[in-house]
Copies of this chain bind each other. A is one copy, B any other.
Amino acid sequence: MSSRRAFLQKMAASALVVPAVSMMKAAAYPQAVNSVYDGPMLRVAIMGLGSYGSRVAEALLSCRAAKLVGVISGTPSKVKEWQAKYNIPEKNCYNYENFDRIKDNQDIDAVYVITPNALHKDQSIRVAKAGKHVICEKPMAVNAVEAQQMVDACKKANVKLLIGYRMHFEPKTLEIVRMRNAGDFGKILFFQGLSGFKIGDPGEWRLNKQLAGGGAMMDIGIYSINGARYMVGEDPVWVTAQEVKTDPIKFKEGVDETITFQLGFANGALASCLSTYAMNNLDRFFLNGEKGFAELLPATGYGPIKGHTHLGELTQPHVTHQTLQMDEMSAIILKGKKPLVPVDGEEGVKDMKIVDAIFEAVKTGKKVDLKL
């Protein structure tokens, strides 16, 4: 298991949780058991059969409104393995050369792109041109220009583009959003996001600028960027950032190791965040308002998420994030559902604009104004 996977699985046993809680088995998805689903079914092909792709495939088994029906991979042996495991017909299997033919496949509605970051743009645009809805893992691209091209391509092709923001469907997270919208925290004043882990294998693609487009910020820091937006409930208007690199061999030019960044909001709220590949298990969100606060710890790991507010512990049950995400994305794509926290391409573009601005702020040492 890669150090990253090991980390994400262990996030619940965060360094900040004492005593450490062990990884709990996900609770059954209540709706699936308690009611018969007779709505439309989102038929999904997964592009990229790596560790996260496998996780999504497993989660899809518990979905009631989405199912895995196809694969796109460059590794024939993996395709065979998945075919057997998930009962995928040969006609729904593609590789990176021929997947444009998915256009003619009436049994696939959407493709979930789960490949290295730098490949997302071209692959997503090809999927869109093939007339299939696109679900793209975060970060949606390596910069905002690419991200916007994806949005434009999907619009032109008249397909939906959704980003794999699984936290946007997580029950405790949504309870905080609900409370904030209801005014329970009063005016929001401060958000703090700590997002990081210690990356292991120096050879993995996440440390390769060509494939990852950056380092920790693209992979884990983006949780704090995105979290700042959905926790505060507004888009920031400026950003400042500071970088530290202690290991320039492991973290080459263009691959960030540790960055602190600050976001300013129009109403005066501030966010102070950490993104790092050099520290053990940091995964905490803290939101402070005039009348109350909320804390999530761990905040973005695969769960269970734990959290409390000034009113007490959050008790919403854990549901496997990817199961929830895919069922909700089915409703968004097939039934036009509007989620409480959006996951569309435009949201992803905003995050990429912030990423770009953070890198610019690091480079120039200056505050960068944001226009989101």
A contact set with B: CB distance below 8 Å: 15-16, 18-19, 189-190, 192, 194, 240, 242, 244-246, 258, 260, 262, 264, 267-270, 272, 274, 276, 278-280, 282, 286, 288, 290, 292-293, 295, 308, 310, 312-313, 365-367
Contacts and interface: CB of A to CB of B under 8 A. Distances in A.
Which of A264, A293, A367 is most buried by chain B, counting CB atoms within 10 A of its CB?
Answer: A293
A268 B244 contact: yes
B268 A260 contact: no
Integer count of this chain's copies in the complex: 2
Contacts of A194: 192
Contacts of A18: 308, 310, 312-313
B270 A272 contact: no
Nearest to A272: B260
Contacts of A286: 16
Given A190-B274, A274-B190, A274-B272, A264 B282 contact: no
A52 B293 CA distance: 29
A147 to B, nearest CB: 26
A367 B365 contact: yes
Given A190-B279, A192-B194, 19 more contacts: A18-B308, A19-B312, A190-B282, A192-B274, A240-B240, A242-B262, A242-B270, A244-B264, A244-B268, A246-B268, A258-B268, A258-B270, A270-B274, A272-B274, A279-B288, A279-B290, A280-B288, A365-B366, A366-B366
Nearest to A190: B279
Contact of A270 (B192, B240, B260, B267): B260
Contacts of A270: 242, 244, 258, 260, 274
Given A15-B310, A258-B270, A365-B366, A288 B293 contact: no
Nearest to A308: B18
A46 to B, nearest CB: 36
A217 to B, nearest CB: 14
Which of the listed residues A269, A282, A292, A312 has the most CB atoms from chain B within 10 Å of its own CB?
Answer: A282
A369 to B, nearest CB: 12
